[in-house]
Amino acid sequence: MCLLAVLFRVHPETPLVIAANRDERFTRPAQPMQVLRPAAPRVLGGRDALAGGTWLAVNEHGLCAGLANRPFVSERDQSRRTRGELPLMLAGHVRAEEAAAEFQEKIDCSEYNPCWLLVGDREALFYIVVGRDKKPEVARLPPGIHVLENRPLDAVSAKAQMIRRALAPVSGWPGVALLNGLHGVLRSHRLPAPELSDDDRNDTGPRPSQVLAACVHTAVYGTRSAMLIIVPPEQDQPPRVHYADGPPCTAPLSDASHLWR
């Protein structure tokens, strides 16, 4: 997952909204939206057909967990476990707070290549760093618009700044306008304004300009799918999930509500 925008207690109609694009090499096989776990709790998401796991998972209770991999100058360590396991582990919980606490207690970071995760529900949102330390770093986030890409959440990112600006009026998007507005942000090819700065915490060198857009297109890599999750305030209602099986600039949004049944 290369773009994960989380709106936590920002919109008057919903406590949690996720807008996400998955960017990946075109040669890496993937399966579209499906049931990843049938019950206790039921979990939806796309599946990585090469290594298993997922980049973004949502369960019937309204808990969402998304992943952004840390880029490497050299090849990643192939001997380590797939990071796609991690959103599934988190989504196996009813509450984000208990998911984050157990993750911090039980996960050994040395078993995975570095990455960042966001996990949240109606009540809480957490940022998790799987890095060089043995144990993950976990931080509770305040209400607001949080944008995670392939940078630390607190990095200076022109892309993240642009997405936050695009989402700034979101509280004024009622009903279906919310879905349409989020889709419009994800499908945009607009690049950040020149005055927005970008640093590089990952020592991977300058980034191609195309990857700074929300919807990415390069010769070998790009946006492969998109997902929109709107968690209703009612505890007994499952999240509204829409997805695009392809770049959201061309692939239509489909409703995944039938998968909760």
- Report the distance separating Cα 114 and Cα 131, nearest Å: 5
Structure tokens at 60: 């019937």
Q: Following DSSP, what letter does each residue of 41-100 receive, concatenated?
A: S-EEEEEETTT---SEEEETTS-EEEEEEPP-SS---TTSBPTTHHHHHHHTSSSHHHHH
What pLDDT sits at residue 42? 99
What pLDDT sits at residue 196? 83
CATH number at residue 68: 3.60.60.10
Percent of the chain whose pLDDT exceeds 90: 88
> Are 94 and 63 spatial neighbours (Cβ–Cβ below 8 Å)?
yes
Residues 78-91: tens digit of each pLDDT: 899 999 999 999 99
- Report the distance separating Cα 1 and Cα 39, nearest Å: 24
pTM of the model: 0.96
- Tally of structural domains, the chain: 1
Residue range of the domain that includes 36: 3-260
Residues 111-140: tens digit of each pLDDT: 999 999 999 999 999 999 999 889 999 999
